[in-house]
Amino acid sequence: MYVNHYDRFIKLDDGNKTIGIIFYQDKNGTLVEITLPEDNEQIFASKYQTVLPSKEELKHLIKNKN
Per residue in 51-64, pLDDT tens? Answer: 778 888 888 888 88
Rounded Cα–Cα distance for residues 63 and 57 (Å): 10
pLDDT digits (tens, 9 = 90+) for 18-34: 778 888 888 888 888 87
User: Is pLDDT of 48 > 70?
Assistant: no
Q: What is the pLDDT of residue 3?
A: 78
Whether this model's pTM surpasses 0.85: no
Q: What is the mean pLDDT of residues 25-52?
A: 75
Q: Which long-range contacts (CB under 8 A, 24 or more apart) does 53-60 make?
A: 58/23, 58/32, 59/30, 59/31, 59/32
